Structure 1
Amino acid sequence: MDFKFNTRMDGFFALTTRLHEDRALQGGKGFYKFIWVRDGKLDIEVDHVVMHLRKGELVTLSPLHHVDMLRAEGHYLSVLFNSNFYCIYGHGGESSCHGFLFHGSSNILHLSLDATETERLSHITDTLAEECAVADNLQEEMLRLLLKRLIIVCTRMARLRLETGKGRENGFDIIRQFYVLVDNHFKEKKQVQDYAEMLYRSPKTLSNLFSLYGLDSPLHIIHERIDAEARRLLLYTSKSAKEISEILGFEDLATFSRFFKKMNRKSISDFRREEKKEDDRPTGLA
């Protein structure tokens, strides 16, 4: 299946089982993505990190993630959309996906679905596929409603992994807001104290909350977001290390170099050289 829908306001929605055959769709800017392996296996590369997905596994990717399809065996489904079709910022209060399903960190959401979750998701995607064949003036709104349902169901599934039950909703929302704030301010704000003030909490309260949910520390999440952006700029632009250090708000190149080596256990020059060698290797889809 390969369905693409464009709105008059530059909205875009796609439902496809052949993302690996569509380089333009893979590299398209501004797309949020669900990739779900229904059967078999799928190897993808996200920001130069290879992921091996198997039956029942699902990942969500933001427009910041660079994805390449390496090997597809079996059946998988991809749902793509842009902000003009469904704005996760505007609907954040309804679905709680902004900062949770979709954020700029390299620590992307990766779910392994059980039988009940698979059945629930199958019902939504089957209905989406049926709606793709109905070309009338109600199609756009129906697709948007079904996409919203998909987002909410996946958010609920992910929240179950965090044991976000009754009485813990407020804590979950603080975590989600933290991710959103980090995405928006990581270039100029690099301390937990900065985000704690914006959330009207103390740094210790934030640290305890993230520990309660079994998540990395707030400081590690800030550093991971900075590092993810640094890696993307090194991999996908020709900017110098000095230019990147300035973009990311470091005092000087030396400070950025120390940070990068601590996060990646290799120097900036070694990282670029090694990744360039990886790019030069022949690849192909099965």
Structure 2
Amino acid sequence: MNQTFENTKIKGKISLCDALHENLPLLKDKGLYKFIWVLTGEIELVVDLQPVILTAGQLMTLSHLHHLEFVRVEGEYMALLFNSNFYCIHKNDHEVSCNGLLFHGSSHIIVFNLNEEEKRRIATLTGIMHDEFENYDYLQEEMLRVLLKRFIILCTRMAQNRQGIARENGLQFEIIRKFYVLVDTHYKEKKQVQEYADMLNKSPKTLANILSAYQQPSAIKIIHNRIEAEAQRLLLYTSKSAKEIAIILGFEDQATFSRFFKNALGMSTSDYRKTFKNKSEVV
């Protein structure tokens, strides 16, 4: 099964399929957000050079920035993919509140273990979506968009439940989510915790306490993780020089970037590229 709707005028796309590993155009499309969940057996993947094994009942979310490769498929799975032209999670953050929670630019991979009720809800929703892909009328696009929003909201609630978010402390967790969004947006020009605390109208200490209460990494670690992830992607998936990458990431010079990278990864940019380049694809 490979169902795709595409609005060619706005280049919006949504797909529901059970063999993404065999669909190279979809797999190589760098603009797609992805939900992948396993129905039976297991699948082995590589995400940003990190090995991942998903087993039955697990669901993974990936942003359009993550590089995905299938290594082994021994079971059944489903994949739901969409791009920002079909539904923009940034512009519509007030509707689904998933940005920074389900999707962010760091190399941290989000995987959920689904309970039976969650499996049932996902199966019901994707079943309706499957039928809607067959309705070729003027209402189809909006109906698919509504169903996608429902799917995202379902996964957002799952993520919130796993963080132990109750109504009385939901506003605190919203600060964490907004912090991740701000880091994704401004990491190239803002690298100090104080700058993000100011944008959140919080003190650095208050921000640190909120992150700690939800077992999140420290604020500076989150900022550095985002920079590291982008540096690794640029080294592995482009042919840009270390000097060019330093400029892209907002470092004052190549030497400062090189020190940052070596402190973070334990090797120079040139050694990192030589070691891992053959495992990636230059784009």
Alignment TM class, shorter chain as reference: over 0.9
Residues 162 and 214, structure 1, Cα contact 8 Å, conserved in 2:
no
Aligned to 1:45: 46
Give aligned pairs, total. Answer: 280
Residues 38 and 56, structure 2, Cα contact 8 Å, conserved in 1:
yes
Matching of residues 25-64 of structure 1 within 5 Å? 25-64=26-65
Aligned to 1:4: 4
Residues 36 and 58, structure 1, Cα contact 8 Å, conserved in 2:
yes
Aligned to 2:89: 88
2 CA distance for matches of 1:104 and 1:6? 25
Aligned to 1:202: 203
Which shifted more, 91-100 or 198-207?
A: 91-100
Matching of residues 13-162 of structure 1 within 5 Å? 13-162=14-163
Scaled by the length of structure 1, the TM-score of the pair is: 0.94
2 CA distance for matches of 1:266 and 1:156? 39
1:173-224 Cα shifts (integer Å, max 9, x gaps): 1111111111111011001101000110000111100100111111111000
- Report the identity percentage: 53
1 CA distance for matches of 2:78 and 2:6? 19
Aligned to 2:231: 230
Give structure 1 stretches of 5+ with no counterpart: 281-286
Per-residue deviation, 1:279: 4.6
Aligned-partner residue type, residue 86 of structure 2: F
SS of aligned partner of 2:167? coil
Give structure 2 stretches of 5+ with no counterpart: none
Aligned-partner residue type, residue 69 of structure 1: F
SS of aligned partner of 1:168? helix
SS of aligned partner of 2:46? strand
2 CA distance for matches of 1:252 and 1:3? 47
Residues 193 and 203, structure 1, Cα contact 8 Å, conserved in 2:
yes
Scaled by the length of structure 2, the TM-score of the pair is: 0.95
Relative distance call for 1:189 and 1:279 in structure 2 (3 A) is: closer
Per-residue deviation, 1:90: 2.0
1:83-110 Cα shifts (integer Å, max 9, x gaps): 1111111221121111211111111321
SS of aligned partner of 1:167? helix
Per-residue deviation, 1:30: 1.3
1:99-157 Cα shifts (integer Å, max 9, x gaps): 21111111132111111211111111111112112222221111111100000000000
Aligned to 2:218: 217
Aligned to 1:269: 270
